[in-house]
Chains A and B, each alone.
Chain A
Amino acid sequence: MMKRKICSVAMVAVLSVTLLAGCGGMPSTGGEGAERVDTPAAADSNDVPEDGKITLRVVDWSDGSLSQREAFHKKYMEEHPNVNIEYTMLTVDQFKNTIVTMIKSGEGPDVFPVPVGLTLKTAVEEEWYQPINQYVTDDFADQFDPLSFAEGVTHIGEDWYTITEVMPTIQSLFFYNKDVLAEAGVTKVPSTYSEFLEVCKKVTENGNGNVYGLIDGGKQTNRMDVLARSLAAAAGGKVAATTKVLVDNGVAPYNTAEMKAAMGFIQDLAEDGSIHPDTMNISAPEARELFAQGQAVFLCQGMWCIPSWDTNYPDLNYGVMAVPVPDGVSDTYVQAGELSPWIGIYKQSKHPKEAAEYLMALYSEEYGYQSSCVEDGTFVSVIPSINEKYMTNEVMKDYYTIAEETSRVVPTIVKRDAKANNFYTEVKDVQPSLGAIVQGIISQSIADYESVLDKLSEEATIEWKRACEAVGMDYGVLEFPNWDTATDYTDADYEALK
C-alpha cells in the first residue's frame, strides 16, 4: 500500500516536473530570470559544412513579387554555387505567428522582415536583428534614396538594421475599368462623391446583376481601414495613416465630420446596391480578379495589382484615378505612404556575411530583382537610378504621378518622441475597429454609423490616454497643432514643436 502511494506520488512529481520544466520557455515577467545569453553571431560565422555549401534561410510575405524573387534566387544560386537559398513565403499573419516560434527556438531565418505591428526598436531590444553596417559596402548604402532611411525604421542611431522594401506609395487609389465605363455610356471619370455615386449607380443598373460599381476585399478589415482613412483624409480630415495614431482636438479622430462624410458615402454606395455583393466574402486578391473579369467598374487598391493584371489579363483596359472627394471640397490630400521597416539579418545568424551579400544582390541592378519589379509595376524601388531606367509601365507612371500629386506626408509620433515606440507596444486595439465598422456599413449591419463612430472615438481616446500614461509619454505628443493637411509635414515642423 505504502509502495503504491510512493509510486503514485513519484509519478505525479515526474509529470509535474516534466510539465513545469517545459514552461522554461515562457515569457519573462521581469525580475531576475529576465537575463539573456548574448551569443555573438560573428563567432559562428565560420560554421560552414564540410561540403563548403551553406544554406541561407529567407522568410517573408512578398507574394506580389514571388515570380521575380524566384528568378532572382535561381540566378543568385547559379552565381554563388556555395550558397543554397531556402526561401519561404508566408502570409502576413502566418509570418507573425511563425517568426516568434522560430526565434524563441533559436532557429530564426538568416534574413527576415520586421512583422507588421512590431517596431524596429522593440525587435532590436528583443535581439532579433543585428546591424548590417559592418557587412555592406559604402557604395551599396549610397545608391539608396535618402528618403528611404529613417530613424526607428531602418536605423537606430548609427546602426543600420533593416532595408525598406519599396518607396512608400499610397495604397488606395481607385482603378477603373474603361470598357465597363464605356458600356454604361460614362465618358467622364468621377472625382466627387456625387459623381462617383452616379457613375456606380448607372453601371450597376446597366450591369443587370452582372456588373457593379465598386468591389473590394471586404473580408480584410485592414483594406477597409485603408479605404475609410483615405476617404476621410481626402475629405480634409486629420487622420493618421493606417496602423498609426494621431489625435485631433484631443480626441481620436474617428467621429470627425470628414470621417462621417466618408462613412456616409460608403453607406450611400451600399444602399444604392452599387457595391458588389460578394465584397464582404472576398479578400483583396479575389477582388482584384473579379475587377479584372469586368464584374465591377472601380477597385480601391495599390500598385501591386498592375503586374498581376498585365500578366493574367493583358486585354484589361483600365486606368487609375484619385480618391473621390465630397462635393465642393478641393485642395485636400490623402496620407502619403509611410516608410516601414522591412528586411534585416537575424542576430544569431551563422552566416551574416553571406546574408549581407544576399541583400546587396537583392537591391542591385545586376541581379534584376529590383528592375523587374519596377518594370512590371510591382513597386517603386528604393534605388532611384533603377526607377529612372525601368519605370516604363504607363499605368504605373500614372499611379505614381497621381499618388505624388494627391498625397501629403503626415506627422508621426515615432519621429517626435522615442517613447512612441513603447506606446505602440503598449496600446491595445479598440474593437469594433474602423475597418470592422466599414464592413458593418457595407453589409448593412450598421444603420446608425455615427453613434458607432462616436463610441470608437471615445473608447480609443481612453485607451490611447492609458497607453501614454503607462509608458510615461505626454498625451499631447499625439496632437500636432501645426499640421496643415495641405502641405507635407517636414522636419522643420517637428522642430517647431520642440
Chain B
Amino acid sequence: MKREKRWKTQKVSKKQVIEQLKVNAWCWLFMALAVGFYILFQGYPIICSIQYSLLDWSGMTSNATFVGLANYTELLRDELFWNAFANSFKYMGMIVPLELAVSLFLAYMLNNEKLRGRSLYRTMYFIPVITTASVVGIIMVFILGVQGPVNHALVALNIIDSPVNFLGNAKYALLTLVVISLWKDCGTYMIYWLAGLQGVPKDVYEAATIDGADRRQTFFHIVLPLIAPTGGIIAILCAINSLKVFDIVKTMTEGGPYYATDVIATYVYRTAFSSEIGMPRLGYASAAALFFGGAVIVIGLGLNAIKSRLSKYV
C-alpha cells in the first residue's frame, strides 16, 4: 500500500517536472533572441574589454603585450583620469536633481485633464529627445556663442553687460552642458513620471479634493508618496545615464576647455582612438572604462539599496 502511494507520488512529480520543463522551455524560447543579442552586443564586448584591459595594445596592430594589472595601477596615478572621474560625478550631481524636479513638474502639469492641448505640449517637450544629440550639440555651440542669440538677448535685456563665453570658460562650461542636457533629456523622464502619475487612482484625487486639499497639498501629501517608488527607478536610470554622457560633451566641448568638461566617456574615447605622438592606447582605455563601469555598478547598487530602504518608509 505504502509502495503504491509512493509510486503514485513519483508519477505525479514526474508529470509536474515535465510540465515545468515545458513552461521553462517556452520561457527560454522567448528569451533566446534577447539573450542572443545580449551575448553578441554586450557580453562579448565586455569579455573583450576585460582582455584588452590587461594588454598594452594600440588597437591598430595585431601584436599586443600582456601587462597584467599595469593599466589599472597606472590609472590610479593618472590625474586626468581622476579629473574625468570627478567631472562625471559632478555632472551627475548637478543633472539628476534638476532632471527629476523639472521633468516631474512638467509631468504633473501635463497630467492635468483640464489642460487643453496637453498632447501638443507633451509632444513639444518630447521633441528634443528624438533630436540627434550631435546635431543639438553643433547648433547649441552657435546659439550659445558669444555672438549667438542667447548672448544677444541677455545683453539686450540688460541682464548681463557683456557676452558670456558659456562653453569657452571653464567656470561655466560644465553647467552649460548640464542645462543643455536637461533641455534635451527631460522629455524622457517626463514620460516616465507621467506613467507613474497615471497609475495613481482617480478616487485618491477625488478624496483629497473632498477633504479640501488644494493642488499643492494633493501633490506633496498624496501623489508624491504614491509615485515615490517610480521616482526611485527614474533616479537610478537618470544617474546611470548621466554617468554615461558622451555625445553632447563630445560635440560641444570635446572635454575642454582644458579638461574642464572631460568626462569618463570622452577620456576613454580620446585615449582609445587618438594620440598626438605615437599610437592610441586601447588597452589602457579599456581599463579606464571597466574601472569606471565597476564604480557605476557599485553606485547603482547603492542607490537601489537606498531606494528600497526609503520605499519602506513611504
Q: Which residues of A contact B (CB under 8 A)?
A: 15, 18-20, 22-23, 26-30, 34, 36, 93, 96-97, 100, 115, 117-118, 122, 125-126, 209-210, 218-222, 225, 242-245, 276-282, 286, 295, 424-436, 439-440, 442-446, 467
Contacts and interface: CB of A to CB of B under 8 A. Distances in A.
A26 B282 CA distance: 12
A19 B47 contact: yes
B257 A439 contact: yes
A16 B253 CA distance: 41
A392 B61 CA distance: 43
A115 B39 contact: no
Contacts of A97: 273
Interface string B245-280: 000000011101111100000000000011111111
Interface residues of B, number: 47
Contact of B256 (A23, A126, A242, A439): A439
Contacts of B47: 19-20, 22-23
A278 B39 contact: no
B88 interface: no
B55 interface: yes
Interface in B31-69: 39, 43-44, 47-48, 51-52, 55, 57-66
B279 A27 contact: no
Contacts of A440: 257-258
A278 B145 contact: yes
B61 A122 contact: yes
Interface of B: 39, 43-44, 47-48, 51-52, 55, 57-66, 80, 141, 145-147, 162-163, 165, 167-170, 252-254, 256-260, 273-281
A115 B257 contact: no
Contacts of A431: 80
Contacts of A115: 60
Q: Which of A242, A244, A439 has the most CB of B within 10 A?
A: A439
Contacts of A286: 141
B163 A277 contact: yes
Contacts of A434: 276
Nearest to B272: A97
Contacts of A36: 62
B168 A279 contact: yes
A100 B168 contact: no
B10 to A, nearest CB: 13
Contact of A244 (B52, B65, B170, B277): B277
B63 A34 contact: yes
Given A28-B62, A280-B167, A443-B168, A117 B256 contact: no
Given A19-B44, A23-B51, A427 B278 contact: yes
A105 B276 CA distance: 27
Contact of B278 (A220, A242, A424): A424
Contacts of A427: 277-278
Given A19-B44, A28-B62, A432-B80, A219 B253 contact: yes
A117 B145 contact: no
Contact of B168 (A19, A22, A278): A278
B258 A29 contact: no
Contacts of B55: 27, 29
B291 to A, nearest CB: 17
Contacts of A126: 60-62
B258 A429 contact: no
A425 B254 CA distance: 25
Given A210-B147, A435-B276, A30 B65 contact: yes
19 contacts: A26-B51, A96-B280, A100-B59, A209-B147, A219-B254, A245-B277, A276-B146, A277-B146, A278-B145, A278-B165, A286-B141, A425-B278, A425-B279, A428-B275, A428-B278, A439-B258, A442-B257, A443-B169, A444-B170
